[in-house]
Amino acid sequence: MVDLLHRALGLSDEEAAKIGDILKRTPNPLELAMYSVMWSEHCSYKSSRLHLSRLPTSAPWVLVGPGENAGVIDVGDGIAVAIRIESHNHPSAIEPYQGAATGVGGILRDIFTMGARPIALMDSLRFGSLDDAKSCWIAEGVVSGISGYGNAVGVPTVGGEIDFDSTFQGNPLVNVLCLGTLPKERLVLGRASGIGNLAVLLGSSTGRDGIGGVSVLASAGFSNQGDLEKRPSVQVGDPFEEKRLIEACLEIFDSNLVVGIQDLGGAGLTCATSETASRGGVGMDVDVSAVPQREPGMEAHEIMISESQERMLAIIEPSNLDSLFEICAKWEVNANVIGRVTEGDKLRILDRFDGNVLAEIPASSLHDDAPIYDRPKKKPEMNKTVPLEKLKVESDVLSDLLSLLSDPSWVYNQYDHQLFLNTVVGPGYDATVLKLRDPVSGLETNKGLAITTDGNHRWCAVNPRVGTKLIVAEGLMNLACVGAHPLALVNCLNFGNPENPQVMWELSESIDGMAEACKGFGIPVVGGNVSLYNESSGVNISPTPVVGLVGKIEELYRKPPGFELLEGNRLVLLGPSHIDVGGSLWSALHGLNSGGLIDVDLETHKVLADLVRSLVSDGIIDGIHDLSAGGLGVALAEMVAKSKFGITVARIPDALSFFGEGPSRVLVSINSENVNELLSRAESANIPTTRLGLVGGDRFIVKDLIDVPKETIDLAFSTKLPNVLGAGTVNA
């Protein structure tokens, strides 16, 4: 029976045999269930760990790198910042509202588990085409779930990105980033230590919701049939319980009551107990009868693998138990002793502390002994591309431009992005800027934090290595556009079925591109998430690595420029003229599979970022926008749509020049009195410049291409998403 059970639990015959070798006996059903969730793709990274080791992870300011609940960096003045990004793709495809909501809840716990107060959320969202009814239903539900949970728990969602493409039909991507601050001395790690210390379960009771949730769904693709059957695997969130849990935990940390703490996410109690024990080199006894249960008749395996939300596992000394109970009672948070730290390395599951042993497993084996696969890789046959100069496409430039414009404010207007009154530059710009406050006193430091999320599946579909380099480069430039130096990167690697050699090649190439860019820019990778098996009806999504970057602004005495266009300003393009249309937004609009992808010169990009950062910091420019998807045309239109004035731009020869994409290009709006200073600085840095035109009037004019009222641009920009998606209040 057990031999058949392991397959039903998603374990291969080889994996089941390895478990038998570790235990030196046949595992019982409970033990198999625990191994199945911990050795799942979501928890073990068995297809990606080999490749992730190539990423740079250290720097003098990195306090905690990959392997803990969140990365932590030192930002000076005794302040640290915790950052993490996670995916909740598969749950959101099945139950959009709860899938997205619990994704927010999980990432918040990753942050305050480290001792940090969460201060900001960002999301990176991708859905199927806007003309697909189900994709729109998923998008509305996801946005409502993010806003419903984040607003209720009291953490602002301050930015992000959203994209719609047929590659995500039936398999949306819901990636959520969270940032928190803490005094360095409050840093807490997820480790158990001290023989006889107690394991205390904090927060919500345990139910059958989420049994096998992300740990199972993350290893499953989707078909058009049977998705509803997976709904019981999606967790149900309670943001008000989460808020109480945050406040209780932070007070517990300030009172120095915990030895270690771990949130309960994927694989539930199995993960939390085994991770804390194995990190500390100790064992742990767990009494499943002491776990508060929401439903009657729950069996041991259900209790151990349930992914019910809003739960934490704290390791404390017995002498601190009463004090911990007192704080929990104050915040109306349940607290129950469910385990104790033991000698040796065994995780034992008991029906009572003095009762029967239901499972006995080396704690570290659930992590350290998880299989590592070097899966076959195969480079796909690449489509022959037509050189840019030979590409002939019938194009109505104005119609194309209007089709490519999309204002994301329909999304972020549903979020409260001003909570804590920290937000200096909010959503809708190259990067978000927050005031850096002292996490103890709340006083301003006159410094700032900048965060951005970036991804582009179209680039990576053409060349995953170069595409990923371009994504990292875009993130760096987005930070520079608000005057910030990069400090750290986190990633969310969204790919298809790793058992497909082409997908594994894409993943490996993408990681190598990220490693090359991060090493070249001096940016450490402090954490990440790998989401595989993103496929629908056997079709893999395009490779979609997403990065989140955090940077620091040393002096935040003025608001950084946004997309502001002031009447009489000059428009100047900084950076090289190299562009192409491979993987471009314009090519996707026309269904083209032509053109190449321009690689980024890392040194030139660094120099340009330094130049941009100095221009912003010194107040030389009035407006700025990094050129990315949609090229110069979309960047100009977005700046016009967010300003009061139109523009007149010198001749641009054709659609390819207008919409072509390439790295290291930044558009600035600058007072005529400062133009010479700009040009001089650019010349000294050996950065090419192109004078484009003037700001003023009420028309959008590009000589020989477009001449329309500014209102035409504004209307196309502002109405696309609201017209399709509505009010965004779906709770389905």
Annotated catalytic residue: which of 6, 42, 51, 605? Answer: 42
Beta strands in 537-584 (DSSP E): 539-540, 544-553, 570-574
What confidence tens digit (pLDDT) does each residue in 574-585 have? 999 899 998 999
Contact 90, 102 (CB under 8 A): no
Category of 297 on φ-ψ map: left (φ > 0), alpha (ψ -120 to 50) or beta: left
pLDDT at 248 (0 to 100): 96
pLDDT at 96 (0 to 100): 92
**Three-state DSSP state, 116:** coil
> Catalytic residue at 605?
no
pLDDT at 625 (0 to 100): 95
What confidence tens digit (pLDDT) does each residue in 375-400 have? 999 998 876 666 666 667 778 999 99
Task: Please say whether the dihedral angle defined by the alpha carbons of residues 271, 277, 283 and 285, taken in this order, is positive or negative.
Answer: negative
Measured distance CA(98)–CA(308) in Å, rounded: 12
pLDDT at 428 (0 to 100): 82
Residues 6 or more apart whose CB falls under 8 angstroms from that of 305 comprise: 33, 34, 37, 211, 212, 215, 267, 268, 269, 270
Neighbours of 471 (CB within 10 A): 27
* Strand-pair category, 432-437 with 423-425: antiparallel
pLDDT at 58 (0 to 100): 95
**Three-state DSSP state, 653:** coil
pLDDT at 390 (0 to 100): 66
Annotated catalytic residue: which of 88, 367, 417, 457? Answer: 88
CA distances from 78 to 75, 539, 681 (A): 8, 49, 35
Neighbours of 568 (CB within 10 A): 11
Beta strands in 426-519 (DSSP E): 432-437, 444-455, 485-494
> Catalytic residue at 90?
no
**Three-state DSSP state, 455:** strand
pLDDT at 387 (0 to 100): 66
State the amino acid at position 35 in one-letter form. Answer: Y
Contact 281, 349 (CB under 8 A): no
Minimal CA–CA distance to 203: which of 88, 72, 105? 105
pLDDT at 383 (0 to 100): 66
* Strand-pair category, 157-164 with 117-127: parallel
Measured distance CA(44)–CA(367) in Å, rounded: 7
What confidence tens digit (pLDDT) does each residue in 421-465 have? 678 888 888 899 999 999 999 899 999 999 999 999 999 999 999
Give the residues of the chain that fall short of pLDDT 50.
1, 213-232, 728-732
Measured distance CA(286)–CA(64) in Å, rounded: 28
pTM: 0.93
Query: In this structure, what token pair is assigned to residue 613?
Result: 């950062």
Minimal CA–CA distance to 36: which of 267, 343, 264? 267
pLDDT at 234 (0 to 100): 63
Q: Using the CB atoms, write b or e for 238-251: b if 16+ within 10 Å.
A: bbebbbbbbbbbbb
